[in-house]
A and B are shown apart, each in its own frame.
Chain A
Amino acid sequence: MEILVCIKRVPDTSENEIEINSDGNDIERDDLVYSVNEWDNYAVEEAIQIVDKVGGSVTVVTVGDDESEEVLRREMAMGANNGILLSDDAFEGSDGKGIATILKGAVEKGNYDLIMTGAQADEGAAQVGGMLAAMLDYPYASLVNLIEAGDGKLKVGREIEGGNQEMNEIELPCVLSIQTGINEPRYVGIRGIRKVASVEIPEMGAGDIGVDAGAIGGDAAKVKRVDYFVPDTGEGAEMLEGSTEEIIAKLIEYLKAKGGLK
């Protein structure tokens, strides 16, 4: 099975405090720790496991700049066979539809049976996979937490509300968005990264993938972020301060009063 996994380099929210910059037009990017989007990492692991079982190859692709190459290399160190960097000034400012349009161009350059994305990324929109599928006229399933490969089709489980799992049969080729927890992504060590450090990763622009520059980028985007801001969240929590002993004493008083201690 030929599998394409779409990945993204994102600020690692478990490692960073996200602050808004003074102009309010971006977050503070200095000193941010970046990594591969967590959901995408599960998708790549799943792709590798499928190929281990049924044969084929895994290609990882991202839309980004030179810095995005590091996440492609990281996923290749995990076991992805090929990487593609989609990079072009014309891509900048694309909304979700623009990104899906760019990825569609890359999909059509290859011959993939299965395309995967993470269920969502840093913008929390969970949109690119479903858009890409609709553009390609491929069937789509989101929030997938189980895949069983069959002949010309897959059995997939979708994680839905209440921890229930919705089982579906889906024909290939298809697009799936992958939920975390579907597998246990393998560890990537320094040695693994070194092994793929000199592997050439092809870079493609709008012309290479046959994408009309007028359909992507900031000018084509119907959805645009205007600014970041700190919401007025009302009172929020009463922050307990002081020495640890003082904080704990105060907290225990609260817990006693609210029935938190038995």
Chain B
Amino acid sequence: MDNVSILTDYQLLVVIVNFGLGSKVLKIAKQEGIGGGTIVIGKGTHRQPILEFLELAETRKEIVMMIAPLRLVNPTCDALEEKMKLHKPNHGIAFVIPVAKFMGMGKYDRSYKLNEGGDVMTEYQAIFTVVDKGKGQEVVDVATQAGAKGATLINARGSGIHETSKLFNMEVEPEKEMVLILAKHDIVQDIISAITHELDLEKPGNGILFVQEVHQTKGIR
């Protein structure tokens, strides 16, 4: 499975930091040349028995997800580690996940190297679509018509190269919705085409979509 890690020229860079620092992460990444990113609010905890008993162990986190071209992944990670002090404890974590397909940002990426390795890797794939708030339901509807059995909507905020604005010197990222669809690999292409077409993702600024391999599923029939 060595070749799995390089499926496209893009990878998904995920950074989890304390609440309020997400915009800073995105800003640093943009300085390194990354087009944009999506931020989701989450809650995190780490093992501390006394605090857990007192129910105080939970902290608010921001999860920043960015699609990065391969050549930018390492420099961005290094820059983030240095500026966000990720090497110190409790300053956040970052990791990189391979991406099977990616489109949006005006580039329609047709170069899937899915079959180059010779074997179909997984039965299921995860399709992530990030669109402006309010359009998530449309994505779900289109995907359902194309054969998807369900979808999960996640509230997020984020910005691409076309959306940057500042208020009192603070970055403001517009609201987004992230749609997660798990689908069998044989209908993935249909769903992608339908979403790309209906939401006009080939045009810049309308949203992005990427696909990841899923190695195990439970609960999908």
The answer to whether A and B interact is no
- Interfacial residues, chain B to chain A (CB-CB below 8 A): none
- Interfacial residues, chain A to chain B (CB-CB below 8 A): none
